[in-house]
Amino acid sequence: MRAWNVTGTTIESLQPVEVPEPAPGPAEVLVRIAAAALNYRDLAVLRGTYGSRTGAPYVPLSDGAGTVGTVGSAVRRVRPGDRVVLNYARDWIAGEPTEEALRPRLGMPLDGTLQEAMVLPEHAVVPLPDALPLEDAAVLPVAGTAAWHALFDFGRLQPGEQVVVQGTGGVSMLALQLATAARARVLVTTRSAAKAALAREHGADTVVVAGGPSWDAAVLEWTAGKGADLLLDVVGGDLSASLRATRFGGRVALIGFLASAEARFDLRFAIQRRLDLRGVSVGPRSSLEALVRAVAALRLRPFVSRTFSFEEAPAAFRALASGEHSGKLLIRF
């Protein structure tokens, strides 16, 4: 079977290889990958800026979905032929995050999804309802569970509430689509008119083109001076505007750091307004299951801006590095 290996710290170091198909142990399943998706994390891992690494070569990518092939003798959760999506934090089933549960993740330190087949413990796959295509499911594990966790677990979003989402990246577009489907009202900040149109198309109640320093004033106007109930911050750096744009007792999900990883804000403001800032990342399998169910029930189609073939994997990485895309980048096998 074919796979891609990262052999260095550049996109050029991606190498196609031919490897033998693995065989599942008693409690394991073989999954034939049908589609995989990219996240900024994949680029950071490749470039070696993601913290501790295992040595190259390794198979990259954290997101993927496919069809169950052979299964081990003790497997009960799925059968050959079942369509499944893979749980990125492989062994995190449910409950609070722990270091132990979050260590084994696809795409680093475990091998990732950019290979035609892979073996996983049966507990690491989530069966898909008929209504959910494999290509849609493939983009959900990393960005989708982060958006879900920010909106519905941390955010406890209720219909009619007002949410601010920054930008049109992978997490942001899924958050926009999910929050809109759940009948919250969403304001999207963005830097380009094209992306503003895209956000509107996907349900944004209001879009603020964030060229100036005062997008928070626009949020206050949108909320009658009160501030948003929930804000998803993917920009990082100076959080002052994000905090000003959030209501008394409101919630700020800290998700990204496109501008800077060094957060800064005025403690007096956060204390006076009783703000809640939470570091948000992927969730456990139970979140992925809830998300899969919701996406299917809502007939929601996650926004994919570009699709690549398996052979075009390096081009997909280059598109990711350019930062020009909105939503997700998909690789169809």
Query: Quick check: 182 binds a copy of itself (CB under 8 A)?
Result: yes
- To the nearest whole angstrom, how small is the minimum distance from the Cβ of residue 8 to a copy of itself? 23
For 95, residues 6+ apart whose C-beta sits below 8 A from its C-beta are: 101, 284
Ramachandran bin of 180, using left for φ above 0, alpha for ψ from -120 to 50, beta for the remaining angles:
alpha
Phi/psi of residue 44, nearest 5 degrees: -65, -40
Residue 74 vs 194, nearer CB to a copy of itself: 74
Interactions with a copy of itself, residue window 97-136 (CB under 8 A): 97-102
| Of positions 178, 186, 288, 330, contacts a copy of itself by CB under 8 A | 178
Q: Given the structure tokens 């003798």, which residue do they identify? A: 73
- Tokens read off for 24: 């599942």
| Of positions 17, 19, 23, 94, contacts a copy of itself by CB under 8 A | 94
What single string gives the DSSP state of each residue in 1-46? -EEEEE-SSSGGGEEEEE-PPP---TTEEEEEEEEEE--HHHHHHH
| Of positions 1, 78, 181, 217, contacts a copy of itself by CB under 8 A | 181
Q: How many CB atoms lie within 10 A of CB 164?
A: 28
Interactions with a copy of itself, residue window 130-159 (CB under 8 A): 152, 156, 158-159
- To the nearest whole angstrom, how small is the minimum distance from the Cβ of residue 26 to a copy of itself? 8
Nearest to 310 by CA among 46, 64, 39, 141: 64
Residue 97 vs 133, nearer CB to a copy of itself: 97
Q: How many residues bind a copy of itself (CB under 8 A)?
A: 61
Return d(Cα 25, Cα 314) in angstroms, integer: 32
- To the nearest whole angstrom, how small is the minimum distance from the Cβ of residue 65 to a copy of itself? 18
The amino acid present at 177, given as its one-letter code, is Q
| Of positions 18, 20, 73, 271, contacts a copy of itself by CB under 8 A | 271
Nearest to 227 by CA among 249, 211, 208: 249
- To the nearest whole angstrom, how small is the minimum distance from the Cβ of residue 50 to a copy of itself? 9
Interactions with a copy of itself, residue window 198-257 (CB under 8 A): 226, 236, 248-249, 254-257
Query: Quick check: 195 binds a copy of itself (CB under 8 A)?
Result: no
- To the nearest whole angstrom, how small is the minimum distance from the Cβ of residue 214 to a copy of itself? 21
- To the nearest whole angstrom, how small is the minimum distance from the Cβ of residue 13 to a copy of itself? 24
Interactions with a copy of itself, residue window 274-303 (CB under 8 A): 274-281, 284, 286, 290, 293-298
CB of 285 within 8 A of CB of 120?
A: no
- To the nearest whole angstrom, how small is the minimum distance from the Cβ of residue 183 to a copy of itself? 5
Return d(Cα 92, Cα 123) in angstroms, integer: 9
For 156, residues 6+ apart whose C-beta sits below 8 A from its C-beta are: none
The contact pattern for a copy of itself, residues 28-67, with x = CB under 8 A and - = no contact, is: -----------------------x----------------
- To the nearest whole angstrom, how small is the minimum distance from the Cβ of residue 199 to a copy of itself? 18
